[in-house]
Chain A
Amino acid sequence: MAVHETTKDSQAPAARTPNRGLRWLRRHLVTLAGLATLGYLILPNLVVMVFSFNKPNGRFNYQWQHFSTDAWRDPCGVADLCGSLGLSLQLALWATVGATVLGTMIAFALARYRFRARSGVNTLIFLPMAMPEVVMAASLATLFLNMGIQFGFWTILIAHIMFCLSFVVTAVKARVMSMDPRLEQAAQDLYASPVQTFLRVTLPIAAPGIAAGALLSFALSFDDFIITNFNAGSTVTFPMFVWGSAQRGTPVQINVIGTAMFLVAVLCVLAGQLAGNRRKRSKRS
């Protein structure tokens, strides 16, 4: 299959048979199906983007009426919207810090050491990922209710660190385990102290795994609704605000913020890619 692919771009001049179209279709069927799926994935984002320029008649922003940039000029014009956004960012940041630190420690223990109860620890890490969110959400809320703990920022943060942790462990562990242990041995042979070895060799190699875990945590925490819904009390995070607005009326500003987040994130990723490419190229030359 890979052999055929080399001719893909040159539109195969050899195929001059009458059923050329059919052949082309057969050869590119997988690509077309993949692109169709990609379209399905992207379509809602485009709708969100287009409808951020809408000027709806009623309270709901579901039908296209007029073009307008009102919402873009006043993104915080809706009460509580930007407050909830700030709160969500703050929560995501702290949840990321907490989950990344705790998760990286566990990952190193799992990848580098032998200890008792290893399979127990593995199960405890795996279970939160294999559990529907609503179950974790309801049970944690039961604990807080029974303990008489006030719902709010801290209960949400505790919950977010809890469910992000496993994902960090998985990401970091995979990276640390695929690391060549001889690199560290070489460092020690060259008289590096254990601390030096860790900071200069181990950590830089593990960094992509840690970064992946941290990014995932941030995204999961920022976008979490189900667990937050059960453990927030009257605190309103951004997803909670959107959920509430689905009942009360959706302001266009929601689309503005969704679009802005999308654009900023895509630009960041692209910039990172470009920087990475340039570094690679300069290394090569």
Chain B
Amino acid sequence: MTPAITTSAPAPPDGPAGAETPVLRKTPVRKRLVPYWLLLPGILWLLVFFAAPLVYQASTSIQTGSLEEGFKVTWHFATYWDALGEYWPQFVRSMAYAGVATVLCLVLGYPLAYLIAFKAGRWRNVVMILVIAPFFTSFLIRTLAWKTILADGGPVVGVLNSLHVLDVTSWLGVTEGHRVLATPLAVVCGLTYNFLPFMVLPLYTSLERIDPRLHEAAGDLYARPSTTFRRVTFPLSMPGVVAGTLLTFIPAAGDYINAELLGSTDQKMIGNVIQSQFLRVLDYPTAAALSFILMAAILAMVTLYIRKSGTEDLV
């Protein structure tokens, strides 16, 4: 997702084979067709199995009917209103959980990425492996491990209880009683954990690109370390911040695994609703409408965010 900084970037989108690149000079027709042949199979795959399904789903969302009689397109847009009216708490909750998890990922992930990029020295590869290593155990197993870590009689809950942290969090409404499991805190903790590497890796990529001489220059100009960070390092790492927050927020907003395994019925997110409507209730129009609303909300937020942060060359 990180932009490729390159000098050989092919320029204008629809321009004809340019005369300024010597390699492509005077292209015969057969050669001009090469890119289309290269694109054909993959793009066809995406069109048939990614784009077409979205169209199908759009039509499903305005259908009515039942499993026995079959569904028909009746332009029944009310499904959207009904779905929103019934499941808006789950929508709000998804966005809130994903938002908090993204912020936590940034706060936790930045020092780690910074550590790998500037401080790890010859340990860099080892730390890097440790960041990627958790991926090698299936994430469902690792999420289940949180059930053990946060278990009611476990050491974590014990320590939090004796420090009266859980009293504070209960007062804030993110935990209930003297437990962590089956509370918003557990779900957010799981989400943060699961998507943290997606924050660390792009951050690292953009931090690593920063010329260390810029830090020295800032120091030579009497900038304090905190000033150097604020004025030099952080702005230069913005592409990583943007990519990382997107890579964290988008999957977190649609996730239903953490809410299912670590939460209770009060922590259900929109993904849980879509999943149960589709796979258990078999109410396809509602599931389709819900996932369309989710998609629209996320795409709108992503577009706005990318435009605001001014890094449009993410792809």
Q: Is the interface of B mostly helix, strand, loop or mixed?
A: helix
B215 & A1 in contact (Cβ 8 Å cutoff): yes
Task: List residues of chain B with CB within 8 A of the CB of A111.
Answer: 10
A274 to chain B, nearest CB (A): 10
A113 & B144 in contact (Cβ 8 Å cutoff): no
Task: Please report the C-alpha to C-alpha distance between residue A38 and residue B132 in the assembled complex, in whole angstroms.
Answer: 10
* Contact residues of B between 233 and 252, Cβ < 8 Å to A: 246, 250-251
Q: Which residue of B lies closest to A270 (CB)?
A: B129
Q: Which residue of A lies closest to B296 (CB)?
A: A135
A132 & B23 in contact (Cβ 8 Å cutoff): no
Contact partner, B138, options A126, A180, A223, Cβ 8 Å? A223
Given the interface pairs A34-B111, A37-B196, A273-B125, the reply to whether A3 lies near B52 with Cβ below 8 Å is no
Task: List residues of chain A with CB within 8 A of the CB of B45.
Answer: 102, 161-162, 165
B147 within 8 A of A: yes
B295 within 8 A of A: yes
Task: Please report the C-alpha to C-alpha distance between residue A119 and residue B271 in the assembled complex, in whole angstroms.
Answer: 30
B41 within 8 A of A: yes
B4 & A140 in contact (Cβ 8 Å cutoff): no
A113 & B34 in contact (Cβ 8 Å cutoff): yes
Contact partner, B141, options A102, A106, A185, A242, Cβ 8 Å? A242
Task: Please report the C-alpha to C-alpha distance between residue A259 and residue B145 in the assembled complex, in whole angstroms.
Answer: 12
B298 within 8 A of A: yes
Q: Which residues of A contact B (CB under 8 A)?
A: 1-5, 8, 30-31, 33-38, 40-45, 47-48, 51, 62-63, 102-103, 105-106, 108-116, 118-119, 121-136, 138-143, 145-146, 158-159, 161-162, 165-166, 169-170, 173-174, 177-181, 184-185, 188, 219, 222-223, 225-226, 229-230, 238-239, 242-243, 246, 250, 254-255, 258-259, 261-262, 264-266, 269-270, 273
Q: Can you list the 9 inter-chain pairs with the closest CB atoms, starting with the nearest?
A: A132-B254, A34-B115, A113-B35, A265-B136, A102-B42, A33-B111, A139-B53, A109-B38, A44-B145
Can you spell out 13 A-B residue pairs with CB atoms less than 8 angstroms apart?
A3-B216, A34-B116, A38-B127, A63-B151, A109-B38, A109-B39, A121-B43, A128-B46, A139-B53, A146-B56, A177-B6, A243-B140, A254-B144
